[in-house]
Structure formats: C-alpha cells, structure tokens
Amino acid sequence: MKSIVKIAFFSLLCVSSLSAQQKDFKGYLFAYFEGKGPGEKQEQLRFAVSDDAVNWKALNNNEPVVASKDISNTGGIRDPHILRSADGNSFYMTATDMNTKKNGWDYNPGIVLMHSNNLLDWKSSVIDLEKLYPTKFKDIKWVWAPQTFYDTKAKKYLVYFTVRFKYNEKLDFYCAYANKDFSGFEQEPKLMFSPKDGAIDGDIIYKDGVYHFFYKGNTKDENGKEIKNGIKQAKSKKLQGPWKESFEYLDYYADKKTGVEGSSVFKLNNSDEYILMYDLYSSGRYEFQRSKDLYHFTDKTESFTKDFFPRHGSVIGITTEEAIRLQEKWGGIPQSLLTAKDGTFQFKAEGNPIIKHKFTADPAAFVEKDTLWLFTGHDFEGGQKGYKLKDWLVFSTTDLKNWTEYQVPLKIEDFKWDKTNDAYAGQTIKRNGKYYWYISTNGSGIGVAVADKPQGPYKDAIGKPLLTNADCFASTHSWTCIDPAVFIDDDGQAWLFWGNGVCYYAKLKENMIEIDGVIKKIDFKGLQFTEAPWVHKKNGKYYLSYASGFPEKIAYAMADNIEGPYEYKGILNEIAGNSNTNHQAILDFKGKPYFIYHNGAIQTNGSSYSRSVCIDKLEYNNDGTIKRVVMTTEGVTK
C-alpha cells in the first residue's frame, strides 16, 4: 500500500530506542481504511485521533489523507500499519496494494511502503513480489496486511506479511528487511512463520524478552474444514522465530458467530496497560480487550466511540507538536491534544463562527495596543435543551485570523456568593493597570473579578455582588440583574449598564468595584429593550445597542450625552441564525469597525443553547448612523 501508514501504536509497541520511549505522548493516531460510503473512496488511507484511545475523531472530515492512486498500483490500499522509527523522529507505513471494489478478491501481488518525517508528507513505493522475485513468487495469489518491526540487533526494519499461492490455500507469514530508504527489500522475502492452519493480519509486539505475535487464526477438523476462527498468539525469543503457537483464542467472539480480524496491539501512554483491538468486520464495530502482561486479557470487550467506520488499522502515540501539525493540515484534533504546556491553544478562524472547537456566547471585547481581546461565555456542550454555562473564556488575536485561547480564567464557582451556578454574560475593561471583568448570574446578581493580565487568572474582587435584584427598582422578575456592560468615557468616568426588560445604568467609582451615586434607567420612544446593552462612542456620539424582542434582534439608539436623551435609530442586526438570543460587542480594530455576535450555526449540534461567536464588518453612514449588519459565513478572514 503505497502511501499508507499503519499505526503500530507507538515506539513502546516495538523495541524502540530510548529517545523514542522518552517522547511525551499526549494522544493517539489511528491509521485505517473506511468501510462505508462510496466504494471508490473506501480503500484509501485515513487518520483519526484520540486523547484517551477510546473516543476517536476522524481527521480531514473522514476524507482520505493520502490518495490511493498516488501510492498504489491498483488504486486502492487496505490494512494500513504505522510505526514510529527507533529514534522517534520519523514514521514508516505499510499497506496492502489492493482494490477489491475494482478488481475483486482474486489476486494482489503487492504491498506499499511509505516513509515520512512529519506524518504529513509521505514518500512511497510499491513492491510487486511476482515481478521482483518471479521464481519464488511466480504463482502468488495474495500479499496481505504488511507490518513493520524494528530489529534492534540488526538495526534494520523488518517487513512481514501474509502470502498465499494459487496452488495452495495455506496462508503463511513471509518477511524481509527493508532497504535504508524504505523503498524496497534488501533481499528476497523468506518464510517467517507457518501457523498450523494458516493465519492473516499479523502484529508483533515485544515485552520482557519475548516477541508476541498476534494474528487471526483458525481451527480445522480432520477433513480440513474450518470450524472456528479468531485472534491467536504465538511467542518467540527471536524476532524471526521459531515461533511457539498457542491454540487458544484470545478474543471474546471466538466461540460466537461474530467474526473478527485485523487485530492490533498497542500500549497506552504513561500506563502499563495494553490494548488488543480488532475489527468486527461483519457488524461494523471496533472493540478491544485489555492486558498488562500480553498473556491474559480482560474477558469483557469495550467499544470505541467514533465518527467514522474503520476497517483494519493500527495505532501509535503522538506528541502535542505532532497533533498541532496534524490539525494544521487536516483539522479534527481534540483541543485537549493541542493545548501547549502553558495552557494556550492556537487555532485559525475559518469564516464564521470563528470558534468551532467549542460553543461560545455573549461576546465582549476590547483592544490593547495591536491585540484584540475577546471574552465569551461558554455553552457547556452541543445539542443542549437549556442554558448551561459554568465558566467564561478568553481569546486574543492580532489579525482576526490567528487566535490564541488561554486557560479558563474564571468560573462561576469563583464567586462563593452565587446560588445559581449559571455563568451568564459579562464584559472586561482595563483601568489603572488592572483588568476588571463584570459578570452576571441567573438571579444572584452582578459580580466583578480582577486580574493583572487580560488572560487572567481572575478572582472575585469584593466577595459579594456588586448589584442585585434589589437594585433593579423598576423590575419584578428574578433574572433582571444580568448582562453588565462597562464603558469609560473620555473624561475618565466609568459607567455600568445592565438589565433585562429594563436598561439600568450607574456611575462607577475610580476603584471600579463600587457604584457611585444613584442608579437610573434608560427610557426613550421605541426602546423595546430586552437585554444585552453595549455602549460605544464614535466621533462624539454615544451609541447604545441592545437586544430587542424575542427571538432577539439588535437595535440601537444615539445620543450626544451618555445619559441621553437617546434617539432610536432602528434594527442593527437581524435574528442570528438558529439562536433566540443575540448579544453584541462593537469596536474598532486597526482602523476598521467590527460587529461581534453569536449564533447557533455549528451543525449538527448548534442551537439557541449551544451558540458560537462570529465577527462581521460594521459600516457607518455619513451622518453617523450605522448600516444594518450583513451576517456572513465568510466573516472577516477571507
């Protein structure tokens, strides 16, 4: 299989060098071919990644990562096996050169060898045994499931595979050392292991002085009829044998009607536990059993969760740096594998929503020097049936394309006085070298947290609410004290706006943690205020934007004084797709105005309760009024 990488879990699976073993593996890479979808796309190399070796996510939207036509003679590959090199810095992959969708199962004489230094770019070659070694392999029928193992004594990579000849139904394992550039064999392959009743899908792993050879075997009666099959094991003190075959079956299904194949064993990262996984090819499942000694495996099977339909593949461990490379090339890597040692996570915005790896809502932002800092709420997960927010998030960018996410800076549990456990909308601002984050809860009030850096960490600044429902004199419902918005005017006076149903405002003292004077409310003709106030100033005019109606649109008004009187100017933003709520931030960044909001557009799990932040352009008319925002999927990054 020309450009295929079968993943033999990581260097500890093989006898690898110390440098490879010392790598800090954070996750797992699964190389496989697909078992569903259009036939011409199935026998192609694909990758998936997991942070726990159980829950898997396909890369590249489950499209091929290397096209079979570029690496194989037949136009198809099967059984990819991937191996990390002995020094830990490069990768080898083998695969069956076979296109059953096009040519059927009758004949395939070749395998694919691949080599990469980065997991992204692969050099490949095809070995056709019948053409290269016409005497020994003249009447070959099948060359199946090649794998690679590093021989520490020979300091070479041994490729082994199953062979069947046309004149004999017996399936045996042959092997040969690869040449230095992993493009061919040093010599003609020779017989390595001949199991009593034949075998396919071999996988070798070394532990405590013993080579363990796992494979799919069978049992035949005195007439040569197969009566049982499943995963077997043979053992040897030497890599090329002789092998002592065990006639016991290891897999859970050996005594059942369900067939299994494609067994592969890998060691869990930072653990003494091994996984024996196999393909339940007739029922479309992938399951596994566990072991600590490679002799005794758990009786009960466990299942992978996945968003793809894998066939015979293999697994290796990967580092954070490798996960980042894979993410940049193909996407789909879990965020847990992309987080750097300092807790940051780098990602690129590709249109709207700008953040797709988690659900974000209620944006607020400010600009400091050449950096835009974005603060959001965090809808707990996708497909929710109600609002569930437990913490707040912070991001930064210098170009609106490349973003950094920081460690969670603030959680609702940081406010000990809160009784609701609901982390509602907030806004952050800088003053006197400190950063103040005004947050709201679902009934306990508005709080304020403080930090020395915009990314935090933040802590409760006063140990009690800054405002409660008791301060909302014109309201009677319990969720009125929400959505704080802070603004510092040109004269240095800080103002706080908030509310649901009624728009309240008040001055803040210089210390930013006390209300200064009387609490008032905004009222003007056409107000129809629901929530989410935001105040900004441009060319001497004050703009009050807010969510109006339900489902919510964003409306706005203008005034010559921050306390009004305000004049209603109309709708600024229509109902945001798939979201009843609408919440905005408006600011200039590097000379251009922007409108930041959320919608429920991430499919299939986006909704009014699983929202996502977006950014689009904002445009002013010559008279200072604002043009209605055009919400786009392209956003501002194209």
Residue 223, pLDDT score: 85
Q: Are residues 60 and 89 in the same domain?
A: yes
Q: Which of residues 588 and 222 earns the better pLDDT score?
A: 588
Q: Are residues 223 and 370 in the same domain?
A: no
Q: Are residues 363 and 329 in the same domain?
A: no
Residue 5 pLDDT more than 80?
A: no
For the segment 363-386, the average pLDDT, to the nearest whole number, is 96
Chosen domain end from 305, 337, 369: 337
pLDDT digits (tens, 9 = 90+) for 70-116: 999 999 999 999 999 999 999 999 999 999 999 999 999 999 999 99
Answer whether residue 19 is part of any domain.
no
Q: Which CATH number do you get for residue 264?
A: 2.115.10.20
Q: Are residues 393 and 309 in the same domain?
A: no
Q: Please give the Cα distance from 276 to 269 (Å, whole number).
A: 14
Residue 7 pLDDT more than 80?
A: no
Q: Please give the Cα distance from 177 to 239 (Å, whole number).
A: 12
Q: Are residues 349 and 390 in the same domain?
A: yes
Residue 87 — left, alpha, or beta (φ > 0 → left; ψ -120 to 50 → alpha)?
alpha
Task: Identify whether 531 is a catalytic site residue.
Answer: yes
Residue 22 pLDDT more than 70?
A: no
pLDDT digits (tens, 9 = 90+) for 124-178: 999 999 999 999 999 999 999 999 999 999 999 999 999 999 999 999 999 999 9
Q: Tokens standing for 180? A: 């230095």
Q: Are residues 287 and 391 in the same domain?
A: no
Q: Which residues contact 121 (CB under 8 A, 6 or more apart)?
A: none
Could you tell me which of 310, 253, 259 has the C-alpha nearest to residue 286?
310
Q: Are residues 298 and 402 in the same domain?
A: no
Q: Which residue has the tokens 């008004």?
A: 557
SS3 239: coil
| pLDDT band (50, 70, 90) for residue 340 | confident
pLDDT digits (tens, 9 = 90+) for 49-77: 999 999 999 999 999 999 999 999 999 99
| Residue 25: strand pairing partners | 319
Answer whether residue 594 is part of any domain.
yes
Chosen domain end from 318, 337, 356: 337
- Catalytic residue, chosen from 79, 97, 531, 616, is 531
pLDDT digits (tens, 9 = 90+) for 557-571: 999 999 999 999 999
Query: What is the count of structural domains for the chain?
Result: 2
Phi, psi of 416 (to 5 degrees): -65, -20
- Catalytic residue, chosen from 362, 379, 405, 418, is 362
Could you tell me which of 186, 192, 133 has the C-alpha nearest to residue 156?
186
Per-state percent for the chain, helix, strand, coil, to nearest 5: 5, 45, 45
Q: Are residues 246 and 362 in the same domain?
A: no
For the segment 238-267, the average pLDDT, to the nearest whole number, is 94
Residue 15 pLDDT more than 50?
A: no
Could you tell me which of 328, 306, 315, 327 has the C-alpha nearest to residue 263?
315
On average, the pLDDT of the chain sits at: 94
Range of the domain at 289: 27-337
SS3 18: helix
Q: Are residues 303 and 398 in the same domain?
A: no
Q: Please give the Cα distance from 95 to 81 (Å, whole number).
A: 6
Chosen domain end from 337, 368, 392: 337
Q: Are residues 273 and 156 in the same domain?
A: yes
Residue 357 pLDDT more than 50?
A: yes
- At 114, which helix (H) or strand (E)? strand 110-116
Q: Euclidean distance between the first and final Cα of the chain, in Å?
A: 38
Instruction: Order the strands of the 612-617 sheet from edge to edge.
Output: 585-589, 592-599, 612-617
Q: Are residues 378 and 321 in the same domain?
A: no
Phi, psi of 287 (to 5 degrees): -130, 170
Q: Please give the Cα distance from 201 to 256 (Å, whole number).
A: 20
Q: Are residues 250 and 351 in the same domain?
A: no
User: Does the pTM of the predicted model rise above 0.75?
Assistant: no
User: HEC string of 154-179?
Assistant: CCEEEEEEEEEECCEEEEEEEEEEEC
For the segment 213-235, the average pLDDT, to the nearest whole number, is 91
